[in-house]
Chain A
C-alpha cells in the first residue's frame, strides 16, 4: 500500500532532537482507602531519535508514564526532562505529538481538517509536514475530505497517526495506538508506522501489549510490572533498520520475543 520513502536525508528529520529523562519518578493515586502506587521510582532515559517500546501487564502504569512525560499530569516524586525542559514547558514549546488509544477524531471535521486541527490550535510555526503527503503515505489520500464516520476503525487510527506525525514534533508519545485493531490490520499498521517514522526519526515512547509489535518497532523495550508500577527489564533490540516483515520469521526476532516473555513472567512472581 505504501511504498517505502526514498531519498531520505537528515534534513527531513525533526528540527529539534529531544531526549527524555525520567529520574526516579513516583505517582500515587488514592481510591477511597486504597492507595495505588501507579509508578514507584521509575527511571528511564530515551535518547533523541530513539524508539522505545513499553510493555507490561494492565495497570502497571504505562499510560500514567506517558501522561507524566507529556506534562498532562504531575509526578509525586522524582523529575522528568524532555529536551532538557520540564514537561509543562516542553508542552508549551510544542515538543509533543500524542497518539491516544482511541483515534479521537472530531466527528464534525473532515479527515484533513482533523489532521490540521492541532496545527491550528497549537500555533506551531515551523517543522510542519505536509498532511496530504502523509495521508497518501498511509493510503488515505482519497479520503481527505471524508468524515470520520465514513472510515473504518483502522483507517481512523491511521488518521490519528498522521495527525501526530504532521505536527513534526520531535517527541511522539503513543499509548497503545493499535489496541483496538484486529491482528491483520495491526500487522500492516506496524510497517506503516515505521515507514512514516523512518522519515522523521522523532523520539518515540510506544506503549503496547503486543510483544511482537514491541520487538519489530523498538530500539529498546522496557518491561514494567504492576503494584507498584516499576521497570523490571530493559532489552536492546539488535535487529537492523529499516525493519521489514520478513524479520518476524528470523531467529533473532524470536529470541527477543522469548526474552521479553521471560521478563514479563518474572514480573508476576
Chain B
C-alpha cells in the first residue's frame, strides 16, 4: 500500500491468513514452536507443562547470568558507587517496595496513556491509508519522516513545548510507539487476499463491511506483533521523558538516585522497568495465542 516496511520498525509479514507462510516477527516470550491445535502429539504432551518448562529454563539462564554478574563484582571489589550487584539492587527493592511500586505505577500510567493514543491514531491513519490513495500519498511519507526522527532526542524540547506535568511523557511514549503500530496496521489492513476481496465485491459488499469482516480480522496478527514491540517501547519512552523533568516515575527514581550516588536504586529501578516490560509482552503473547488459534 505504498508503505515499505522500514528496518527496525517491526512491520510484520504474516501470510495472508492461515496459509501458514511466514510468521510475524515475534518479539514474544520464547516458545516459537508451539504445535498447532489439532496436532495430537502436542496436545497430549500438554502445553501447560511445556509452558512451565520454558519459564523454568528461562529463569535458570537469567539466574546464571545474574550470578556471574554478582561474582564478578564481588571478586573484582568494584566499589558500590560504580556498579551495584544484583543482590544490592534486589535488596533496595525489598527495603522499600512501596516506593518502587508507586513510581512504577506512574510510569506505567504514562506509558499506557501514550500507547493508547498512538494505537488509536495509528489504526485510524492506517484505515485511511488503505482506503484512499490521497491519504496514502499524504500520510505515508509523514510516517517515514517520523520514523527517521530521533524521537528520544525530542524529549527535552517536548518538555519546553508541553510544560511540566504528565503531557510530555505521554506524548513521548506515543511518539516512540506510533510508527511500528501504524506500519503493522497498514500491512494488516492492506495485505488481504485479492481473490477474497473480489469475492466480497461480487456480492456488492460495502467498504465498511469489507473492513469489518476482512481487513480488521486480517490485521490481528500484525497488530499483536505491533503491540508486542511497542508495549516495552512505550515504557522506555515514558522513562526517557521522566529523565528531563518529573517528580515521580521510574525515570525520576533513577535520576534522583544518581544524584545521591545510590547506584543500587538505579539498578533496582531498571529491574522494575524490565519486569514491567516482560509482563506486558507476556500478557500480549498470551492474549495473541488465545485469539489467533486460526493461524496455520
Contact = CB atoms under 8 A, between A and B. Distances in A.
Nearest to A67: B198
Interface in B263-296: 293-296
Contacts of B217: 106, 108
Contact of B203 (A94, A108, A109, A149): A94
A149 B18 contact: yes
B196 A91 contact: no
Residue among A71, A72, A107, A148 having the largest count of chain B Cβ atoms under 10 Å = A107
Contact of A124 (B198, B203, B213): B203
Contact of A122 (B19, B36, B205, B295): B205
B200 A107 contact: no
A32 to B, nearest CB: 20
Residue among A91, A104, A122 having the largest count of chain B Cβ atoms under 10 Å = A104
Contact of A107 (B195, B205, B294): B294
Given A72-B198, A117-B213, A149 B294 contact: yes
B202 A98 contact: yes
B209 A150 contact: no
Contacts of B294: 107-109, 147-149
Given A108-B217, A149-B18, A122 B195 contact: no
A43 interface: no
B43 interface: no
A100 B198 contact: yes
Contacts of A71: 202
Contacts of A72: 198, 201-202
A101 interface: yes
B239 to A, nearest CB: 37
A29 to B, nearest CB: 16
Contacts of B198: 67, 70, 72, 98, 100
Interface string A59-72: 00000000100111
A81 to B, nearest CB: 17
A182 B209 CA distance: 35
B95 interface: no
Contacts of A210: none
A188 B199 CA distance: 24
Contacts of B204: 91-92, 94, 122
Contacts of B105: none
Contacts of B20: 149
A72 B195 CA distance: 11
Residue among B18, B36, B295 having the largest count of chain A Cβ atoms under 10 Å = B18
A107 B18 contact: yes
Residue among B20, B209, B220 having the largest count of chain A Cβ atoms under 10 Å = B209
Contacts, number: 79
A108 B220 contact: yes
Interface residues of B, number: 26
B200 A121 contact: yes
A256 B213 CA distance: 44
Contacts of A121: 200, 203, 205, 209, 213
B295 A107 contact: yes
Residue among A71, A98, A109 having the largest count of chain B Cβ atoms under 10 Å = A98
Contacts of B79: none
A96 B17 contact: no
A104 B196 contact: yes
Nearest to A97: B202
Contacts of B296: 107, 149
Interface in A107-143: 107-109, 117-118, 120-122, 124
A92 B36 CA distance: 40
A231 to B, nearest CB: 23
B18 A148 contact: yes
A196 B203 CA distance: 20
Interface string B12-26: 000001111000000
Contact of B202 (A96, A117, A120): A96
A249 to B, nearest CB: 35
Nearest to B203: A122
B214 A107 contact: no
Given A106-B213, A108-B217, A147-B18, A167 B203 contact: yes
Contacts of A118: 199-200, 203
17 contacts: A67-B198, A70-B202, A72-B198, A72-B201, A91-B202, A94-B203, A104-B193, A104-B196, A107-B295, A117-B213, A118-B199, A120-B213, A121-B209, A121-B213, A122-B205, A148-B18, A173-B202
Interface of A: 67, 70-72, 91-92, 94, 96-98, 100-102, 104-109, 117-118, 120-122, 124, 147-150, 167, 173
Given A98-B199, A149-B295, 18 more contacts: A71-B202, A72-B201, A96-B203, A97-B202, A98-B198, A101-B195, A104-B195, A105-B17, A106-B214, A107-B18, A108-B18, A109-B294, A118-B200, A121-B203, A122-B205, A147-B294, A149-B294, A149-B296
The 9 closest A-B pairs by CB, nearest first: A107-B18, A122-B203, A107-B17, A100-B195, A98-B202, A149-B18, A108-B294, A104-B196, A104-B195
